Amino acid sequence: MNESIKEFDIHEIQIGMAESSSHIITNQDIMSFAKISGDKNPVHLDEEFAATTQFKKRIAHGLMSSSYFSALFGTRLPGRGCVYVGQNLNFKRPVYINDEVIAKIEVIRIDKEKRRVFFDTICTVKGKVIIDGQAELYIPPKV
């Protein structure tokens, strides 16, 4: 097992447990995400086009910022072996190149019988919410 990846059993998780991470959005991140996802919307890639929009400059893909939740789930809480069951997302504000996105997850409910853990998920930039929502994860039994 990779030592930097945590692993919690369903019985070790408690309401209020939380994790967070920070990411500076770069042009390279946006270009890579566009290539991987196939989302080549010019609002993300074309300065001239983006200048004509309400945003006035290029914005990052919303799902790129929300993907930081997945990284937190898979490596920190609950960690190794967990499986995404569901996620809802509310996109509140745009993210621009050089913005620092802080992603945070927090346990809000646990269903030990079904081995499900529910989380509040939130991303902020400069203290303002850019994305919020909730996620549900399945925690498999340890082998």
Domains annotated for the chain, with CATH where assigned, are 10-138 (3.10.129.10)
* Calpha distance 113→136 (Å, rounded): 14
- Give the tens place of pLDDT for each residue, 79-101: 999 999 999 999 999 999 999 99
Strand partners, 135: 87, 119
- Give the tens place of pLDDT for each residue, 37-95: 999 999 999 999 999 999 999 999 999 999 999 999 999 999 999 999 999 999 999 99
The model's confidence at residue 123, banded by pLDDT at 50, 70 and 90, is: very high
* Calpha distance 134→143 (Å, rounded): 28
Q: Compute φ and ψ for 141, nearest 5 degrees.
A: -65, 150
Q: Residues 6 or more apart from 135 whose CB is under 8 A from it?
A: 69, 73, 84, 86, 87, 105, 118, 119, 121
Overall pTM surpassing 0.85 (yes/no)? yes
